[in-house]
Amino acid sequence: MALYNRRNCIICYNEKKKWYLCIKSNGMDIDDLILCPICKSIPVNEREDFLRSLKYNTKSFKKGELIAQQGDPVKSLYILLKGSVKAEMTSESGDVLNIETIHAPNPLAPAFLFAENNTFPLDVVALEDVEIVRISKESVIEQLANNETFLHGFMTFNSNRVHFLSGRLKLLSTKTIKGKLAQYILERTDNMCFTMDMNQTTLAEYFGVTRPSLSRTIAEMKDEGIITLKGKKGRIINLVRLKKSV
């Protein structure tokens, strides 16, 4: 194992496994990883030691590249450090369903690292140029055993993911486009106002429907006086009818 300086950074490099320990490497600095939900609660005075203790590597992907394919083994903790990706599923008939869009800095399928069937459940595709940090499983185990803050962050993130996926399952099980749209709006409503955080093309993929069908449904809900919508900003006019649509 070699120890040397590069760009004013101490790196410990393992020639066999290609893992290195580093505070700054390939443009990554201490704030990049700490912003991840799993790591963000680590106290400021512990962050440098935390980063130095990790064994990881980084990999960049261009827009449109496949980062992980359904069935690929999850051998390390993937954290999206830069850019955004989409997680999608392809049916036997060839239809592609967009499960979600994930933005940096967020982990990718962290719970599957310790699953008996530890494989990616979906395809992960880069929506733009992205950078991924891959922390070795051994390093994650060490942090879970010795760093209570990291353990809490890891468990909280995965618990929140279960909540998200249950909501996603409910959305996918809703039969009508109007029902899907109503649920989507209700989940984003605050004081009768809501923001569409996806354009219609992306939202149609998220619902697993065609864009023209979604556009017609939005127009119908506006004509029926259920909602108003201008750009991405909308307002609920008839909450009772909107809830009945779900």
Q: What is the pLDDT of residues 143-177, one digit of tens each?
A: 999 999 999 999 999 999 888 878 777 777 788 99
Please state the separation of Cα 160 from the chain's center in Å. 12
Confidence of residue 92 (pLDDT cuts 50, 70, 90): low
Residues 6 or more apart from 122 whose CB is under 8 A from it?
70, 87, 88, 89, 99, 109
CA pair distance 119, 96, nearest whole angstrom: 19
DSSP string, 44-85: HHHHHHHHHH--EEEEEE-TT-EEE-TT-B--EEEEEEESEE
Q: Check whether 218 has a pLDDT greater than 90.
A: yes
Q: Check whether 241 has a pLDDT greater than 70.
A: yes
User: What is the Cβ-side half-sphere exposure of residue 150, based on CA atoms within 13 angstroms?
Assistant: 20
Confidence at residue 93, expressed as pLDDT on a 0 to 100 scale: 67
Question: What integer best gives the mean pLDDT of the chain?
Answer: 85
Give the chain's domains with CATH numbers: 2-172 (2.60.120.10), 174-245 (1.10.10.10)
- Percent of the chain clearing pLDDT 70 (strictly above): 85
Q: Check whether 9 has a pLDDT greater than 60.
A: no
Confidence at residue 117, expressed as pLDDT on a 0 to 100 scale: 93
Confidence at residue 89, expressed as pLDDT on a 0 to 100 scale: 83
**Tens-digit pLDDT profile for residues 17-38:** 444 444 444 454 546 789 999 9
Confidence of residue 237 (pLDDT cuts 50, 70, 90): very high
Confidence at residue 16, expressed as pLDDT on a 0 to 100 scale: 44
- Using a cut of 0.75, tell me whether the model's pTM lies above it: no
CA pair distance 85, 67, nearest whole angstrom: 9
230 exposed, middle or buried (CB, 10 Å; 0-12, 13-18, 19+)? exposed
Among 114-128, 162-176, 182-196, 200-214, the least confident range: 162-176
Confidence at residue 99, expressed as pLDDT on a 0 to 100 scale: 84
Confidence at residue 12, expressed as pLDDT on a 0 to 100 scale: 44
When pLDDT is averaged across residues 203-215 and rounded to a whole number, the result is: 89
Classify 165 as helix, strand or coil: helix
Q: How many CB atoms lie within 10 A of CB 156?
A: 13
Q: Check whether 235 has a pLDDT greater than 80.
A: yes
